[in-house]
Amino acid sequence: MNLNNLSCKSARNICIVKTLAKLGHFPTRTTEKEAWFLSPLRSETQASFSVSLIKNLWFDFGLGRGGNTIDLIMLMKSWSVREVLEYLKNDLESFSFSPPKTEHLLKQAEIRILDVEFIYLQGLIDYLKSRNIPFEIGRKYCRQVWYGCKGKRFFAIGLENHKGGWELRNKYFKTSSSPKTYSLIERESKHLLITEGMFDFLSLATIDEDLVERSDCLILNSLAFLNRIKMLLPNYDKVSLYLDNDLAGKKAADSLLRLFDNITDWSNSYNGYKDLNEKLTSGKSSGK
């Protein structure tokens, strides 16, 4: 396939389930024919968003709408067809044109939180160190989470979201437990910091701990949750954005800047790097 000329026909064939996984959404239940999700288009507690594994089509029963991969991304990100094709073209290697393996979907769906405690395992301390995150910062904001999957027990650094789900990271694996949504740290501040992922947040806390400690902090955990947090932004005098320096991050920042006049985009402070953690691990970070 010519990656520089992605057609609508080819884009429609990109696996919806793997596209959703790339955007931070995983099935709560799967069968041989379909996967069920909490809707990525609205808030809900019971999964009513279905993806046909045979036809590669989605349907949101709460909205009464459905379609293909292009239709879904257009709704999730409020993009045009051209913008969706550009996004898929630039990140094409992350997607698949073949139906997902049911075993992989079940693995995502069966994650169970077994225990949560303060970080003490050397493997996780070393992982924080490899990302240039001081142990004190990691221990302050994250926890050591034991989780079960396919009858086995694993451990990871976990960041809790505001609905009680967990973002889970270790040296070998990146996943999350249900329900998946954004994380919010509230300090009754009028300044809100927004980062895209948990290691972006931990990096910001490492680079400027005073700033983080005197601000409210929101970690998106996926750009798919951008629409869910828009209602929070008018509550703040200042909102500082630290999204990724890629196409998706830039478009997300632009969409917020067009809607709100209290937002400042700080991505230029790590220009030349994909995100805050990449700059931090380069050894060239400095406080603002």
For β-strands 143-149 and 152-160, DSSP reports them as antiparallel
CB atoms within 10 A of CB 62: 13
Find out whether 81 and 74 touch, Cβ atoms under 8 Å: yes
pLDDT of residue 139: 96
Q: For residue 56, give the amino acid letter.
A: N
Domain boundary among the residues 181, 214, 233 is at 181
195 lies in the same domain as 272: yes
More confident residue, 108 or 48: 48
175 lies in the same domain as 216: no
Residue 99 falls within a domain, yes or no? Answer: no
Residue 202 falls within a domain, yes or no? Answer: yes
pLDDT of residue 89: 74
Domain range holding 67?
8-94
Instruction: State the chain's maximal CA–CA distance in angstroms.
Output: 52
pLDDT of residue 90: 62
Question: Does the structure show a pLDDT above 70 at 129?
Answer: yes
Mean pLDDT of 48-59: 92
Count of structural domains, the chain:
3
191 lies in the same domain as 259: yes
Q: What is the CATH number of the domain that holds 62?
A: 3.90.580.10
How many secondary structure helices (H) and strands (E) does the chain include? 12, 15
Q: What is the CATH number of the domain that holds 225?
A: 3.40.1360.10
Residue 2 falls within a domain, yes or no? Answer: no
3-state secondary structure of 265: strand
Question: Does the structure show a pLDDT above 90 at 96?
Answer: no
125 lies in the same domain as 79: no
Residue 120 falls within a domain, yes or no? Answer: yes
* Residue 76 falls in which region: left (phi positive, over 0), alpha (psi -120 to 50) or beta: alpha
268 lies in the same domain as 227: yes
Instruction: Measure the CA–CA gap between 100 and 29, rounded to whole angstroms.
Output: 14
Which residue is associated with the tokens 């698949």?
96
| Best CA proximity match to 211, nearest among 276, 278, 283, 119 | 276
Residue-wise pLDDT tens digits, 1-52? 343 456 787 788 888 998 888 887 888 888 878 899 988 888 777 788 999 9
189 lies in the same domain as 275: yes
Lowest mean pLDDT among 83-97, 117-131, 162-176, 237-251: 83-97
pTM higher than 0.75, yes or no?
no
Which residue is associated with the tokens 């991050």?
249
CB atoms within 10 A of CB 124: 24
Domain boundary among the residues 166, 181, 196 is at 181
- Enumerate the β-bridge partners of residue 67: 58
Residue 100 falls within a domain, yes or no? Answer: no
pLDDT of residue 269: 94
pLDDT of residue 122: 93
| C-alpha 264 chain-centroid distance | 21
122 lies in the same domain as 90: no
Domain boundary among the residues 143, 162, 181 is at 181
pLDDT of residue 97: 42
Q: What does pLDDT average to over the chain?
A: 86
pLDDT of residue 218: 98
166 lies in the same domain as 223: no
Residue-wise pLDDT tens digits, 176-193? 888 889 999 999 999 999
Burial class (CB in 10 A: 0-12, 13-18, 19+), 255: middle
